[in-house]
Structure 1
């Protein structure tokens, strides 16, 4: 019992140490990313005066508008005020409509996070199933069939998949709505019915990457000496798989998820257009086209925060499931 307690304490200590190193890396990354993000306006040459007054505005009128927005102050002063606001969840005011950027982002982020979360769950479940079956049936026709399917799925654009899904399930079978969004507060069933098709369209890329990474990791684990030794000692295939192979081969697949979730949120813009959704990706696209710098800055900060947060979560999960994967983090 004392040995188990000591190992438990060592495991917790190792996890906290790895988490601390991750935070030590991500905090300066976030700070630098926000600085570069804020420098966007200065590098772009855009101004709220140009949007409000047009290209024929006089220098005096431009200076007056920029003074109202506080853009005549020193750059570092502007950055520090903006950065402290960001830490409090405030991203400024839209140049286009004068609305609060944080509110606008919140409206679209709920839609995109819903789709991305369901897409991640679907992609993970299907990808883990295919990757595990392919590894267990390696070098057989089952392995080759799954590998071929994953290869085809990986090159299918989400918008093409979305159109096909709408034609089949919304138009042909009339089982699901073809577009729109219903918040989960109005009913879980309605919420899921409206996001399942766009989520399924986005999940294909997750399925392909997770299945490939998991198969590779499991096959490599099966070749390790400790696995061969466990088989020689007569351990059951189930115990060998769950105690030795899965825990040591799952790391690359889990690490992939740390990248996939934030990218799903940002890559949903085309899918949102197809399904008539006003999400985070579409808001980012509209803001960029309109030259709404505060909105674009807010989008970038939220995107960085999503990447940092989800990678921290993945590191914690890796530390619990596959401790060896955290070496060198």
Structure 2
């Protein structure tokens, strides 16, 4: 094998001659195409999800007007309240009206507190997004570091240890992890608060101390899956011809792994991370209950228990929108990472 052959084989599949590499405009068009395809799927999903949510709220046997007015209300009072809530109109017409208003930022008002639903969500959503974003960051860091180390040390003690630990963590429910973390870091070694919340305005250190345990509890199974998928993807990529050629050319091992191999082997890990995004947002309900966080999950639970349908519908609509936007972003990242996906556009 000649030196020229080694040089040719050392080039990763994503590399291309400078003249054939896409410019910024082409890359932007490809990202826009991937985002458009994601939105094309997201719109019907949003419609179906909101329709089902609204129907479940409308078909409940509990009469909201009676609940709001109490047992002492007369039938005439209940009828007037039903008209005020719009419950005397057909269910489909109510859904269309609610969806139209929601698209214009009007999610209605709580039946009990009269507070606008959008205002309640705006106050609670930053808490849930902070916990979910913190969990996502922890999952990426822990999963990325240990998945990469396990792939580099294939068959070694570190590889086997990471495999065993991630297999165990992937089966641990979030609330079990939350209770264990509170026991260790708030009771046995009291270095972090067991619950509650402090906004960033109270100080970044204080805010991070309240954020760390909920985010860590929510991130463990995602971090385990990311580590396993990244280890699998990199293990195969590190044996590709262009990686072997790069090493034979004397490129530093860190550059080979982090620049050439990681970009082409991280696709499965990013895909599984995208699958965990809805879990991170949905799992906030349990996490917020355990840690007494005033997030959107706690808001939804309280509203559901009291029968406050507008709050439940508004919270679920915002949650669905966050999940769909996150999924669209993950699709764009996958297109960026996978050369084959880019060529399909």
TM-score of the alignment, normalized to the shorter chain, above 0.5: yes
Q: Residue 85 of structure 1 contacts residue 91 of structure 1 at CA under 8 Å; is this kept in 2?
A: yes
Q: Paired residue for 1:52?
A: 68
Q: Residue 131 of structure 1 contacts residue 211 of structure 1 at CA under 8 Å; is this kept in 2?
A: yes
User: What is the CA–CA distance in structure 2 between the aligned matches of 1:226 and 1:202, rounded to whole Å?
Assistant: 38
- Between 128-137 and 72-81, the greater mean CA deviation after superposition: 72-81
Q: Report Cα offsets for 1:99-132 as digits up to 9, x if no partner.
A: 2222222222221211111111112101111111
1:299 aligns with 2:315: yes
Indicate which of 207, 221, 228 corresponds to 2:223. Answer: 207
Could you tell me how far 1:232 is from its partner in structure 2?
6.1
- Between 297-306 and 9-18, the greater mean CA deviation after superposition: 9-18
Q: Report Cα offsets for 1:261-304 as digits up to 9, x if no partner.
A: 33223212232233222222122222222222111111210111
- Between 141-150 and 21-30, the greater mean CA deviation after superposition: 21-30
Alignment of 1:310-329 (within 5 A): 310-325=326-341
1:112 aligns with 2:138: no
Q: Paired residue for 1:162?
A: 178
Could you tell me how far 1:223 is from its partner in structure 2?
4.4
1:94 aligns with 2:86: no
- Between 294-303 and 241-250, the greater mean CA deviation after superposition: 241-250
Q: Residue 51 of structure 1 contacts residue 95 of structure 1 at CA under 8 Å; is this kept in 2?
A: no
Give the 3 Å change call, closer, same or farther, for CA 327–263 of structure 1 in structure 2. Answer: farther
Give the 3 Å change call, closer, same or farther, for CA 255–327 of structure 1 in structure 2. Answer: farther
- Between 300-309 and 318-327, the greater mean CA deviation after superposition: 318-327
Indicate which of 221, 226, 235 corresponds to 2:237. Answer: 221
Q: Report Cα offsets for 1:11-45 as digits up to 9, x if no partner.
A: 33322222221222212222232222222223324
Cα RMSD after superposing both structures: 2.7
Indicate which of 179, 198, 201 corresponds to 2:214. Answer: 198
Could you tell me how far 1:58 is from its partner in structure 2?
6.5
Q: Paired residue for 2:4?
A: none
Q: Paired residue for 2:279?
A: 263
User: What is the CA–CA distance in structure 2 between the aligned matches of 1:272 and 1:27, rounded to whole Å?
Assistant: 29
User: What is the CA–CA distance in structure 2 between the aligned matches of 1:58 and 1:46, rounded to whole Å?
Assistant: 16
Could you tell me how far 1:260 is from its partner in structure 2?
2.3
User: What is the CA–CA distance in structure 2 between the aligned matches of 1:268 and 1:2, rounded to whole Å?
Assistant: 46
1:174 aligns with 2:158: no
User: What is the CA–CA distance in structure 1 between the aligned matches of 2:77 and 2:149, rounded to whole Å?
Assistant: 67
Q: Paired residue for 1:287?
A: 303
Q: Paired residue for 1:184?
A: 200
Could you tell me how far 1:135 is from its partner in structure 2?
0.9
Structure 1 gaps of 5+ residues are none
TM-score in terms of structure 2 length: 0.85
TM-score in terms of structure 1 length: 0.88
Could you tell me how far 1:92 is from its partner in structure 2?
1.2
Could you tell me how far 1:236 is from its partner in structure 2?
4.9
Indicate which of 38, 55, 58 corresponds to 1:39. Answer: 55
Q: Report Cα offsets for 1:146-198 as digits up to 9, x if no partner.
A: 00011111222222222232233222333222221111022111111111111
Give the 3 Å change call, closer, same or farther, for CA 160–29 of structure 1 in structure 2. Answer: closer
Indicate which of 140, 145, 152 corresponds to 1:136. Answer: 152
Give the 3 Å change call, closer, same or farther, for CA 8–68 of structure 1 in structure 2. Answer: closer
Could you tell me how far 1:136 is from its partner in structure 2?
1.0
Could you tell me how far 1:63 is from its partner in structure 2?
3.2
Structure 2 gaps of 5+ residues are 1-16
Indicate which of 99, 103, 107 corresponds to 1:83. Answer: 99
Q: Residue 127 of structure 2 contacts residue 294 of structure 2 at CA under 8 Å; is this kept in 1?
A: yes
Indicate which of 61, 65, 71 corresponds to 2:87. Answer: 71
